[in-house]
């Protein structure tokens, strides 16, 4: 596939995402490789009622290589890195296929990850351990994070002081 066809596919996927129900903000209006998407917690999940800014970076060889996905505001989840917000998601990281589109990531893959965490393949060991040892305390901790970090209005533009973003090293 030529570079221009790859760019067309990337632009088409980003456009489909922008035309869907998702709020999308391009980091650089001249490029479709870096952008943020507002994700609402799935209905009937511990994350229901929360809103997250999810940063997406598309590699040069997209769609043959998977996008990089990371939560910008804090989320308590075994498969999300506590410090960087990076997502550990098999479909995205290992079994990605050019048949998938960006809309699939937000309609299916991320909601499934939030509904069904996988503590046996963690990026956040503390969350995985708590989920396996005490599901009720895990539920309380998730709800606390949703209330504290994902219940306020999420600004999708470029904001200077994002105090609840990425560096979560002070939270256990």
Indicate the pTM of the whole model.
0.85
94 in a domain, yes or no? yes
User: How many CA atoms does the CB half-sphere of 154 hold within 13 Å?
Assistant: 28
Q: What is the per-residue pLDDT across 90-114, written as a single tens digit (0 to 9) for each?
A: 767 778 999 999 999 999 999 999 9
- pLDDT attached to residue 6: 62
- pLDDT attached to residue 15: 95
159 in a domain, yes or no? no
171 in a domain, yes or no? no
Catalytic residue among 39, 54, 56, 88: 88
- pLDDT attached to residue 5: 65
55 in a domain, yes or no? yes
- pLDDT attached to residue 4: 62
Number of structural domains the chain divides into = 1
Check which CATH number belongs to the domain holding 65 and give it: 3.10.110.10
- Most confident of the ranges 33-37, 88-92, 151-155: 33-37
Which structural domain range is residue 111 located in? 3-149
155 in a domain, yes or no? no
8 in a domain, yes or no? yes
13 in a domain, yes or no? yes
Which residues, in sequence order, are CB contacts of 37 under 8 Å at separation 6+? 17, 22, 23, 24, 25, 53, 54, 56, 106
Catalytic site includes residue 88: yes
């Amino acid at each position: 596939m030529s570079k221009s066809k790859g760019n067309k596919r990337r632009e088409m996927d980003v456009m489909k995402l922008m035309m869907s129900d998702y709020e999308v903000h391009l980091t650089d209006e001249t490029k479709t490789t870096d952008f943020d998407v507002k994700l609402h917690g799935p209905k009937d999940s511990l994350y229901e009622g929360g809103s997250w800014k999810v940063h997406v970076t598309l590699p040069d060889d997209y769609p043959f290589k998977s996008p990089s996905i990371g939560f910008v505001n804090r989320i308590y989840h075994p498969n999300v890195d506590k410090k960087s917000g990076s997502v550990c998601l098999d479909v995205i990281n290992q079994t990605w296929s050019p048949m998938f589109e960006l809309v699939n990531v937000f309609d299916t893959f991320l909601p499934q990850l939030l509904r069904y965490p996988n503590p046996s393949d963690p990026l956040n060991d503390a969350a995985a351990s708590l989920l396996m040892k005490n599901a009720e305390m895990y539920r309380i901790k998730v709800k606390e994070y949703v209330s504290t970090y994902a219940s306020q209005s999420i600004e999708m533009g470029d904001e200077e002081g994002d105090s609840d973003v990425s560096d979560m090293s002070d939270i256990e």
